[in-house]
Amino acid sequence: MNTTGLLRKFMKINISIDDVSPHPFSSTRVLERCEELIEEFPEIKISLFIPTAYWRTIKSGTTTNKPLKLSEFDDFCEELRDLDPSNYEVGFHGYYHGIPNKSDNDEFQRISYEETNSKIDLMLGEVAASGLEGIFKKMFRPPAWRMNPDAFKCLSDRGFELFALTDLEYAVETYAGAHKEYAHTMSCQFPPFKPLKKTEKCGIVYHACEWDKNFLDSEKVEELINFINSSDEKEFVFLEDFCE
């Protein structure tokens, strides 16, 4: 059966945004862009991935003096509680996101099983201290997509049931085949690094960080709206349904 025509017409769509945090150049301002998408598509599904104590120590202009623990930002947490669950879901994106004074982006790349277990305790503890236990789902996207098999196993043993991943070669190398054992998303698109194209499963990833070229700004919102409207049939889904 030739499915080419079907792929052009029907898309299962999920929008995800990484690094939503209390960082002054990130924050929840990206949610204003999300609300523009919701106004255009009331049934759109947006997955937010949040480091629970975001701490950048390397890249000039983005560093903070201390980790940005969610429990210390009441207004930020209140915004998360106020999100409409019919449009938004929230997942974990590491604790610090990087390794303080060594890197900003590879917290789970070389981590051991025991170290992962400790990180999970920190992530869950911060969520509990923030009063966000009913907001975060047990889904995980590794910072910069990098994660090794020990981390996969530990997270799975601790009840994480979905890993939001990529098929980018540099990241897949770190998985060492472990991603094949777990529920995951692949073949994501990253405007402007990857042009938007219609696929049966259309996962589109942006960032909340204003310094990132992949930041969801007004121009990208307009581009995304035009792209979605160009499909005759579409279904907006959260990541659990995207993985089916």
- Average pLDDT (18-34) is 93
Model pLDDT for residues 37-46, shown as the tens digit of each residue: 999 999 999 9
The pLDDT assigned to 231 comes to 85
The pLDDT assigned to 2 comes to 40
pTM score, whole prediction: 0.95
Report the 10 Å Cβ neighbour count for 25.
16
Contact present, 189 and 1 (Cβ < 8 Å): no
For residue 7, is pLDDT > 70?
no
The pLDDT assigned to 102 comes to 97
Q: What is the mean pLDDT of the chain?
A: 94
Secondary structure, 3-state, the chain = CCCHHHHHHEEEEEEEEECCECCCCCECCHHHHHHHHHHHCCCCCEEEEECCEECCCCCCCCCCCCCEEHHHCHHHHHHHHCCCCCCEEEEECCCCCCECCCECCCCCCCCCHHHHHHHHHHHHHHHHHCCCCCCEEEEECCHHHCCCHHHHHHHHHCCCCEEECCCCHHHHHHHCCHHHHCCEECCCECCCCCCCCCCCEEEEEEECCCCCCCECCHHHHHHHHHHHHCCCEEEECCHHHHCC
Q: How many residues does the chain have?
A: 244
Superfamily of domain 4-242: Glycoside hydrolase/deacetylase (3.20.20.370)
For residue 5, is pLDDT > 70?
no
- Average pLDDT (138-142) is 98
For residue 241, is pLDDT > 90?
yes
For residue 13, is pLDDT > 80?
yes
- CA separation for the pair 63, 189 (Å, rounded): 27
The pLDDT assigned to 4 comes to 42
Model pLDDT for residues 68-113, shown as the tens digit of each residue: 999 999 999 999 999 999 999 999 999 999 999 999 999 999 999 9
For residue 236, is pLDDT > 80?
yes
- Average pLDDT (148-168) is 97
The pLDDT assigned to 73 comes to 97
The pLDDT assigned to 1 comes to 36
The candidate with the shortest Cα–Cα distance to 98, out of 142, 156, 39, is 142
- CA separation for the pair 37, 43 (Å, rounded): 10
Residue extents of the structural domains in the chain: 4-242
The pLDDT assigned to 9 comes to 56
What whole-number percentage of the chain has pLDDT above 90? 89
For residue 164, is pLDDT > 70?
yes
- Average pLDDT (222-232) is 93
